[in-house]
Amino acid sequence: MTHILIIGAGECGARAAFCLREKGFRGEITLVGAEEHLPYERPPLSKDALLLGHAPKLVSDAARYLEAGITVLSGISAENIEPLGKTVRLSDGRNLAYDQLLLTTGARPRPFPGQNPVAAASGTRIRTLRTHGDAVAIRAALQPGTHLAIIGGGFIGLELAATARKLGARVTLVEGLPRILSRGVPEELAAVVAERHEAEGVEILCGVKIRGLEENREGATILLEDDSTIAADLIVVGIGAIPNIELARDAGLAIDNGIAVDACLRTSVPDIFAAGDCCSFPLSHYGNRRLRLEAWRNAQDQGQLAAANLLGAEETISAIPWFWSDQYELTLQIAGLADGAAQTVRRDMAEGAFILFHLDAGGRLIAASGIGPGNTVARDIRLAEMMIAAGIHPDPSALAAPDTKLKTLLAA
């Protein structure tokens, strides 16, 4: 019987496993994950799961895996791949043979420079946020009046700041660059987010250089280059993620800012595919530019695409990058990649919401970025995403006019 082995039991790996069954695969499927939990969704960890202390939001419960005939090996990691023999050695000593292998090994938090990664994962006063266990430990430390210091002004750091304020903690956020959300978020949107956090009492320090971190039983301290310090009860480091490529690299797979795959998610080694946060891929909508995405929808999309191509579909990546973040009552959504835009058009909407449309030098829509309360911008961002995929060259004045329905531009 044909055996498809999936290494990495997160959102991407789980979606791929179920999609294989939905597409009629009747062979053996094994899903291997290092965490003790069944596959769960990570976005809630900096939001509801942290705020309410929820159990992990599972992709599916144990009964559904059993019903689908998917074997889940939890609390077990893969230690070695033998591509020629098509076997994987597991941490419990077993060797699993496979016919096809899918790597969905994800990414891990980037430790602060000079910080031991093992200590970062197990520290009590200096932590990172990636797993449910991380969220549980951080939640336990966030009591009313607790001082939380966050290093990094990206989505994770800001979402954590918003959640911590709801829990009554005092928050200081330190960002080394001149502004928050400098990676992929236009300055106009970032300014709205910063203003909202400051209104909530979050202290945001940008352009600040850190020379070290110290931890003791009572708390932790950020040592700044100007010799000043920030003392806190807890420090959370949120300065990006590192793709988990070691297993692939040691097996001889090509690496390029992640496990390098082609447009079908196939690696450089026959019968091995990779998907999700761990891989870099070419995107045709942006001149086959190679990129790596750490995003919930990308994990879902690529899990489904990998399943199709493991079964011989030869489908190529077509999804437009999409990101979102919830902070307080605000939702930020971005479709596409705005860097390289030659023109930006603003559309003002109800309730203070607005969308920025980004066009290239030829007038083609390449990205749209919006922010507003609740789902104010969601529908138009979705339509903009479809316009980007269709390669539309919209009239900038029509984009700017609030009464112009984007659906008419898409149809045209």
User: Where does the pLDDT of residue 49 fall: very low under 50, low under 70, confident under 90, or very high at 90 and above?
Assistant: confident
Q: Of the given ranges (71-75, 96-100, 142-146, 261-265), which has the lowest mean pLDDT?
A: 142-146
Alpha carbon distance 125, 92 (integer Å): 32
Q: What is the pLDDT of residues 193-220, one digit of tens each?
A: 999 999 999 999 999 999 999 998 889 9
How big, in percent rounded to 5, are the helix, strand and coil portions of the chain? 30, 30, 40
Structure tokens at 277: 């946060």
Phi, psi (deg, nearest 5) at residue 206: -105, 155
Q: What is the pLDDT of residues 56-82, one digit of tens each?
A: 999 999 999 999 999 999 999 999 999
Average pLDDT, the chain: 95
Res 8: pLDDT: 98
Phi, psi (deg, nearest 5) at residue 163: -65, -40
Over residues 255-267, the mean pLDDT reads: 98
Taking a C-beta distance cutoff of 8 angstroms, is the pair 336, 366 a contact? yes
Q: What is the pLDDT of residues 303-348, one digit of tens each?
A: 999 999 999 999 999 999 999 999 999 999 999 999 989 999 999 9
Taking a C-beta distance cutoff of 8 angstroms, is the pair 365, 388 a contact? yes
Which domains, and CATH codes, for the chain? 3-106+244-310 (3.50.50.60), 109-237 (3.50.50.60), 329-411 (3.30.390.30)
Over residues 243-269, the mean pLDDT reads: 98
Give whole-number Cα distances, 301 to 4, 32, 137, 266, 377, in Å. 19, 20, 31, 15, 22
Over residues 367-375, the mean pLDDT reads: 97
